[in-house]
Amino acid sequence: MAKSVRTESMHQRLTPAQLAAFLNSAPTELCETTLILREFVLRATPSVDEAIKFHSLCYFKLGNAYGVIGGNVCMITPKQTCLHLGFIHGAFLPDPARLLRGTGKAKRFIEIREAADIRRGPIRTLLRAALAVAEAAKGWRTTRG
């Protein structure tokens, strides 16, 4: 398995082979939109690391308790007919544009069917809020007692 690569800014990114393997498992009609959304996420949050976790492109801050979950910023998950831009801590994010869907305890997502669904302003705001949550959580440790 190919190791991810580090960019000049020292953030982990997928290799072209890893990204191609991920796209091979996604519906063909979603591949281009996945790449557009990936580029948008990386431009909006350049300080995140990237990996494939949970059948998703996962964007997170290294060093947080619980790894990619505790430091999660967002995830791009291909579904049958759309992508989910998921936020593990989405219930705690400000969402004035009311883009987030879901009823789970914490996780929320935005459904993206085509590149035009990437509403750049409101999604960028959500990404930056999620990044702020992940950065604030850095160094938190849990105790059992």
Domain count of the fold of the chain? 1
To which H or E segment does residue 5 belong? strand 5-6
Locate 69 and state its tokens. Answer: 């979950």
Q: Which pTM does this prediction carry?
A: 0.88
Residues 9-58 pLDDT 10s: 678 999 999 999 999 999 999 999 999 999 999 999 999 999 999 999 99
Residues 61-75 pLDDT 10s: 887 666 677 788 999
Instruction: Identify whether 1 is part of a domain.
Output: no
Left if phi > 0, otherwise alpha if psi is -120 to 50, otherwise beta: which for 10? Answer: left
Instruction: Identify whether 99 is part of a domain.
Output: yes
**Where do runs of H (alpha helix) occur along 5-63?**
16-24, 31-44
What is the span of the domain harbouring residue 101? 12-137
Band of pLDDT at residue 143, cut at 50, 70 and 90: very low
Distance, CA of 137 to CA of 73 (rounded, Å): 11
Instruction: Identify whether 5 is part of a domain.
Output: no
Instruction: Identify whether 57 is part of a domain.
Output: yes
- Identify which of 106, 107, 63 has the alpha carbon closest to the alpha carbon of residue 85: 107
**Residue 58 class from Cβ within 10 Å (0-12 exposed, 13-18 middle, 19+ buried)?**
buried
CATH assignment of the domain containing 94: 3.90.1150
3-state SS assignment for residue 87: strand
